[in-house]
C-alpha cells in the first residue's frame, strides 16, 4: 500500500527530485530536476528531466519527459563543447549551457495521463485532465482535458464539454485532502455532470 512516504522501485537514478505523498517511481527510472506531486506515479523505464508534474498524474512505461537539447547553433552538436572536462579539453564545464537547459522546463497538469512511450519536449505545458496518446511526440502546449495523438501530437477531441471543463478546473478536486477524497470516493463513479453539479461552487 502506498503512503505518505514515496515508493521508489529498484534500479532508479534520482537527482534533485522532490516527491509528494502517495507517489511511486517505477523500476529503471531516471529523474533529474523533477517535482512529482502527490498521488502521481511513473511506469517502468521512464526518464523525466526538468519537469514539474502535478497531482494524480498517470505516466505509463517508457515515457520521456523533457529530453534535453544539444546546442544547435554551435559548429558541433557533440557534448564535448559543454562537457569539456570529460574529454580533457578544459578544467571546467560550460555551466551556462547546463543552466539554460535546466530552465527549459515541462509542466504536466493534474489528473493527466501520458501514454506508453510518449515523448514530451522541453518548454511544453500539459493542461489538467489531458491525455497524451501512446507514442505521441508532444511539441506544443496541450489544452486542459484534450486528447492528443500522433507525431507530432495533434488534438483529436476534448474529454468533456467546455462548461464541464470550466467547472472541473474550478472544483480542483485534486487539492482535496486524502480524507476528503476517501469520504467522497463513491462520487467519482457518478456521471460527470452529476459530479460537477454536486461540487461546483460547493467548496471543499
Cβ proximity of 134 and 117 under 8 Å: yes
Cβ proximity of 27 and 45 under 8 Å: yes
103: alpha, beta or left, given left = phi > 0 and alpha = psi -120 to 50? alpha
Residues 6 or more apart whose CB falls under 8 angstroms from that of 203 comprise: none
Instruction: Give me the numbers of helices (H) and strands (E) for the chain, helices first please.
Output: 4, 16
Structure-block grid coordinates of residue 28: 529503471
Active-site hit among 70, 78, 110, 178: 70
Annotated catalytic residue 70: yes
Cβ proximity of 187 and 198 under 8 Å: yes
The set of catalytic residues is 70
Amino acid at each position: 500500500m502506498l503512503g505518505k512516504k514515496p515508493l521508489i522501485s529498484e534500479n532508479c537514478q534520482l537527482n534533485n527530485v522532490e516527491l509528494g505523498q502517495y507517489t511511486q517511481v517505477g523500476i529503471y527510472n531516471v529523474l533529474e530536476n523533477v517535482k512529482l506531486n502527490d498521488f502521481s506515479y511513473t511506469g517502468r523505464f521512464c526518464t523525466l528531466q526538468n519537469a514539474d508534474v502535478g497531482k494524480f498524474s498517470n505516466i505509463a512505461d517508457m515515457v520521456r519527459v523533457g529530453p534535453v537539447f544539444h546546442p544547435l547553433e554551435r559548429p558541433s552538436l557533440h557534448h564535448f563543447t559543454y562537457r569539456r572536462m570529460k574529454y580533457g579539453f578544459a578544467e571546467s564545464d560550460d555551466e551556462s549551457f547546463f543552466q539554460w537547459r535546466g530552465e527549459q522546463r515541462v509542466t504536466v497538469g493534474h489528473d493527466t495521463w501520458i501514454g506508453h512511450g510518449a515523448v514530451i519536449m522541453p518548454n511544453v505545458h500539459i493542461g489538467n485532465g489531458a491525455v497524451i496518446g501512446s507514442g505521441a511526440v508532444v511539441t506544443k502546449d496541450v489544452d486542459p482535458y484534450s486528447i492528443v495523438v500522433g507525431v507530432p501530437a495533434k488534438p483529436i477531441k476534448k474529454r468533456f464539454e467546455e462548461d464541464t471543463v470550466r467547472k472541473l478546473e474550478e472544483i480542483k478536486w485534486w487539492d482535496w485532502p486524502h480524507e476528503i477524497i476517501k469520504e467522497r470516493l463513491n462520487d467519482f463513479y457518478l456521471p460527470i455532470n452529476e459530479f460537477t453539479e454536486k461540487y461546483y461552487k460547493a467548496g471543499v
